[in-house]
């Protein structure tokens, strides 16, 4: 077998070629896709309308795979073993894999050609363009994809209607009771639900512009955008045309090894009919892809069906379904005030779990789903309302991650054999939790049950975590390290706990970091209010908010650099860095900078570094908001804010994103309606794009949300934990963060607001305060016993007209 050709380049095709690469397949692999880009994450497609780029969603193409994008396959010649493309090309194969996916179902009603579907990035581009001139939209379909589309229209600012043929929403995932609770949630958001209604006509004017949708009951819903999201049909036309066996209702018939009626042709994903079922969820499609790759490379894997359990959050509502939706007995809980509905289906002796439904609170899902078909360790009612402990005794064959088909036994074995110590390591090793993430709470429980105990102790001197110490200092009013270690620790402290406590004290009390006892707590950089470099000199970084600077200030920086012989560089964060200052020169340099109106840029501290900006609407023809003005306001607001790790930010004046806001701890992108806020991004060793937290905020709403985000992070993050790692480790992730700082689920927002106001009110520039204090200035010497003598080991040479350090060999 020398050559594999894959027709279709969606997520299933990507998993297939990825698995081939992992297995070391040495033959040629060609993937032919109709879309103009490689496979991308369709589960996250809605995020494309709220700020994510196509590149953010796109999967990397495995090395060695040849792709032909924007190319449609029109025929398969099984006898000659080649496929024919629309441009007349011929691609030979030894093995053909059909991964053609599915197509949206559009009912044959008048005017349907004027409506949109919700399937590809191009579909979303068209919907976004149409929404600019629209006020109301209709989504036909109240299932999972329909509610995703409705959320997208709402996010585009349209008054949104949902039309569903069944008597309630999401009929494949919830029963009538759950549907009623779900409807109540959605209507509470301002959407209109028309359940039990079919579609009679998409109404358009003479120019083809949509004006409404008429339901089967005769109701006319005024709308300028209509989206059909009423299910999909497998794309099996190539298989039919070349004589492969297909099902009565569609789908390419495959055996348990994913082989079709032709032994040289396989089918995977949504186009395949496996065991009489066409699967439309990512988990089963991934499993099919892995089985096919295994068989083609000589393995014996089989596809034995799949878990169709679902846990998701639609329009802010948690919905989960697992196992069967009926049983001999059921246990139901409903709280219409809180909007919570839970139901378990069990055997006639109440000992075996058959399935369950959760709406409004999907907490029991992670614990109970692996028990489907198994004996329950406790009564159904106990599990429904507490449930967390039961998951600790999962049998090895219980599936924990349905997206990637990972069982409890596989996870336990990985933990034991490879010494895994945290969830991140389990995810990297087994793949569990890397797709939808709903099983992550279970991974934590399995780690604990396997005997893994990750100590929360900050160091040997404190048994508390950083977050716990923060609360102790805050609640008990501790103001010194000595008091804290005497009451809540032991010993004298170390290089780990001292800087952490110094940062906590600075975050809460905002005193000078070199004041009294605090001076002895600082690490090298904070001790001299400058970044130490490789040759023992220091860098000087004045704050330049938003990158905006006057000519006079530029001249001062140039004169200082010239007079002190410093190396000068423009940084990536729109600042000017001056390198090569000896420690005894720092006060002289800063006195001139402070007199010219500069203040510390805090490049040395675990604090806000910069808020980068483009030129925004003031100068740029694409800008829609004043990004420079906002960047300056944010940088001045949060300057000096001490945190567990450094903080970087940026503000872009339009969606072209010239300030690279999504690579920052918090980034802001302008929209025509206001500002989109992204959090948890960073560059560096492990780059991460920030997640979209909120859209179209007013400036006041934006600032309030950032205030709370920063203060909640400062309160709860671990030592030296970036916002990206903190957000990934936060139970509930972005949704939980949104609940805490935007919905005030913990009732702490007033405290967070007050903390930020205290910081702003008490901020003082550290270098100005240092220059006014002889005791602080006394520490800036190379040799304590010879204050005026420079360090003779510091030597420079010249390169490109500037100094560079000469290191001893």
**Binding residue numbers for siroheme:** 658
The pair of structure tokens assigned to 665 is: 């701890």
The rounded distance, in Å, linking the Cα atoms of 628 and 634 is 10
DSSP state of 215: E
Which pair of tokens denotes residue 305? 């069906």
Q: What burial letters (b/e) apply to 579-614, b meaning 16+ CB within 10 Å?
A: bbbbbbbbbebbeebbebebbbbbbbbbbbbbbbbb
237 in helix, strand or coil? helix
3-state secondary structure 128-175: HHHHCCCCEEEEECCCHHHHHHHHHHHHCCCEEEEEECCCCCCCCCCC
Nearest to 182 by CA among 135, 174, 124: 174
Q: How far apart are the C-alpha atoms of 647 and 690, rounded to whole Å? A: 13
- C-alpha span between 339 and 337 (Å, rounded): 5
Residues 680-688: contacts with CB within 8 Å, 24+ apart?
Answer: 680/723, 680/724, 680/726, 680/727, 680/728, 680/734, 681/723, 681/724, 682/648, 682/722, 682/723, 682/724, 686/724, 687/663, 688/724
Under 8 Å CB-to-CB from 774, ≥6 apart: which residues?
none
Q: Are 96 and 265 in contact (CB under 8 A)?
A: yes
Residue with tokens 């805050």: 474
CA distance 418 to 411: 10
Contact between residue 573 and residue 612 where contact means Cβ atoms under 8 Å apart: yes
Residue pair 331/381 in contact by the 8 Å Cβ criterion: yes
Instruction: Enumerate residues 6+ apart whose C-beta is below 8 A from 195.
Output: 142, 164, 166, 167, 168, 169, 179, 183
| Sequence-distant (≥ 6) Cβ neighbours of residue 415 within 8 angstroms | 426, 446, 447, 450, 452
Print the SS3 string covering 395-436. CCCCEEECCCCEEHHHHHHHHHHHCCCCHHHHHHHHCCCCCC
Is 280 in contact with 251 (CB distance < 8 Å)?
no
Residues facing 569 on adjacent strands: 577
Beta bridge partners of 248: none
- Give the distance from CA 426 to its chain's centroid: 19
> In the structure encoding, which two tokens stand for residue 392, read together?
């600790």
Q: Counting beta carbons within 10 angstroms of the beta carbon of residue 249, is it exposed (0 to 12), middle (13 to 18) or buried (19 or more)?
A: exposed
337: Cβ–Cβ under 8 A, 6 or more apart, which residues?
none
Residue numbers in the known binding site are: 614, 620, 654, 658
Is residue 344 within 8 Å of residue 333, measured between CB atoms? Answer: no
Measure Cα distances from 610 to 197, 540, 752, 755 in Å. Answer: 54, 14, 22, 21
HSE value, Cβ hemisphere, 13 Å, CA-based, for 580: 21
| Residues annotated within a binding site for [4Fe-4S] cluster | 614, 620, 654, 658
Question: Which are the contacts of 472, defined by CB distance < 8 A and separation ≥ 6?
Answer: 464, 478, 484, 488
Helix, strand, coil percentages, rounded to 5, for the chain? 35, 25, 40
Indicate the angle between helix axes 423-430 and 408-418, nearest 10 degrees: 110
Contact 264, 250 (CB under 8 A): no
């Amino acid at each position: 077998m020398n050559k594999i050709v894959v027709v279709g380049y969606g997520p299933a095709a990507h998993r297939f070629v990825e698995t081939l690469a992992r297995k070391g397949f040495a033959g040629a692999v060609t993937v032919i896709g109709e879309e103009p880009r490689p496979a991308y994450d369709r589960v996250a497609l809605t995020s494309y309308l709220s700020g994510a780029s196509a590149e953010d969603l796109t999967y990397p193409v495995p090395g060695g795979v040849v792709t032909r994008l924007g190319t449609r396959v029109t025929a398969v010649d099984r006898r000659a073993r080649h496929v024919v493309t629309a441009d007349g090309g011929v691609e030979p194969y030894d093995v053909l894999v059909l991964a053609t996916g599915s197509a949206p179902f559009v009912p044959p009603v008048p005017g349907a050609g004027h409506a949109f579907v919700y399937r590809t990035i191009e579909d979303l581009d068209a919907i976004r363009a149409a929404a600019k001139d629209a006020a109301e939209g209709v989504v036909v379909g109240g299932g999972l994809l329909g509610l995703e589309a409705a959320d997208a229209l709402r996010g585009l600012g349209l008054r949104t209607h949902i039309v569903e043929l069944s008597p309630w929403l999401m009929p494949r995932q919830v029963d009538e009771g759950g549907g009623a609770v779900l409807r109540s949630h959605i209507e509470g958001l301002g959407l209109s639900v028309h359940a039990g209604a079919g579609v009679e006509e998409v109404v358009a004017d003479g120019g083809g512009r949509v004006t409404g949708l008429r339901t089967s009951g005769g109701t006319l819903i005024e709308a300028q955008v209509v989206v059909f999201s009423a299910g999909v049909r497998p794309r099996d036309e190539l298989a039919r045309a070349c004589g492969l066996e297909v099902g009565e209702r569609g789908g390419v018939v495959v055996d348990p090894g994913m082989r079709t009626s032709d032994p040289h042709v396989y089918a995977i994903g949504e186009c395949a009919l496996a065991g009489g079922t066409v699967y439309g969820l990512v988990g089963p499609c991934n499993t099919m892809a892995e089985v096919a790759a295994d068989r083609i490379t000589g393995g014996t894997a089989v596809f034995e069906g799949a878990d169709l359990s679902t846990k998701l959050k639609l329009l802010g509502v948690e919905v989960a379904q697992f196992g069967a939706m009926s049983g001999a007995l059921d246990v139901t809980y409903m709280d219409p005030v809180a909007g919570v509905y839970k139901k378990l289906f069990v055997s006639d002796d109440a000992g075996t779990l058959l399935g369950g439904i959760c709406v409004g609170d999907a907490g029991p899902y992670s614990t109970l789903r692996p028990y489907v078909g198994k004996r329950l360790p406790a009564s159904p009612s106990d599990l429904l309302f507490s449930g967390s402990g039961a998951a600790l005794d999962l049998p090895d064959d219980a599936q924990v991650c349905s997206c990637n088909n990972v069982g409890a036994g596989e996870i336990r074995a990985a933990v034991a054999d490879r010494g895994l110590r945290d969830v991140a390591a389990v995810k990297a090793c087994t793949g569990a939790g890397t797709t939808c993430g709903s099983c992550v709470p279970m991974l934590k429980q399995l780690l604990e049950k396997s005997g893994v105990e990750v100590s929360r102790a900050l160091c040997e001197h404190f048994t508390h975590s950083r977050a716990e110490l923060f609360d102790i200092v805050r609640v008990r009013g501790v103001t010194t390290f000595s008091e804290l270690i005497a009451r809540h620790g032991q010993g004298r402290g170390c290089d780990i706990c001292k800087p952490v406590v110094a940062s906590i004290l600075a975050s809460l009390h905002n005193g000078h970091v070199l004041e009294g006892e605090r001076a002895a707590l600082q690490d090298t950089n904070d001790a001299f209010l400058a970044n130490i470099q490789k040759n023992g000199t220091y860098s000087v970084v004045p704050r330049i908010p938003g990158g905006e600077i006057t000519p006079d200030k530029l001249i001062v920086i140039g004169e200082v650099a010239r007079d002190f012989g410093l190396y000068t560089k423009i940084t990536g964060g729109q600042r000017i860095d001056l390198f090569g200052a000896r420690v005894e020169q720092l006060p002289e340099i800063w006195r001139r900078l402070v007199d010219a109106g500069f203040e510390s840029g805090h490049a040395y501290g675990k604090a806000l570094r910069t808020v980068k900006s483009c030129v925004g609407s003031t100068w740029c023809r694409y800008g829609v908001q004043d990004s420079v003005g906002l960047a300056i306001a944010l940088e001045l607001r949060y300057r000096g804010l001490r945190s567990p790790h450094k903080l970087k930010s940026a503000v872009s004046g339009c969606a072209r994103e010239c300030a690279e806001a999504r690579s920052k701890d918090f980034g802001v992108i302008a929209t025509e309606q206001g500002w989109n806020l992204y959090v948890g991004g960073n560059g560096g060793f492990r780059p991460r794009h920030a997640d979209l937290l909120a859209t179209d905020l007013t400036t006041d709403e934006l600032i309030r949300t950032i205030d709370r985000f920063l203060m909640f992070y400062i309160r709860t993050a671990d030592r030296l934990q970036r916002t990206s790692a903190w957000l990934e480790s936060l139970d509930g992730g972005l949704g939980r963060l949104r609940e805490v700082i935007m919905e005030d689920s913990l009732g702490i927002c007033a405290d967070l607001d007050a903390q930020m106001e205290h910081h702003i009110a008490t901020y003082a520039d550290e270098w100005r305060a240092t220059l006014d204090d002889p005791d602080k200035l006394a520490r800036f010497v190379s040799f304590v016993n010879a204050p005026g003598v420079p360090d003779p080991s510091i030597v420079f040479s010249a390169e490109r007209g500037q100094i560079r350090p000469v290191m001893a060999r």
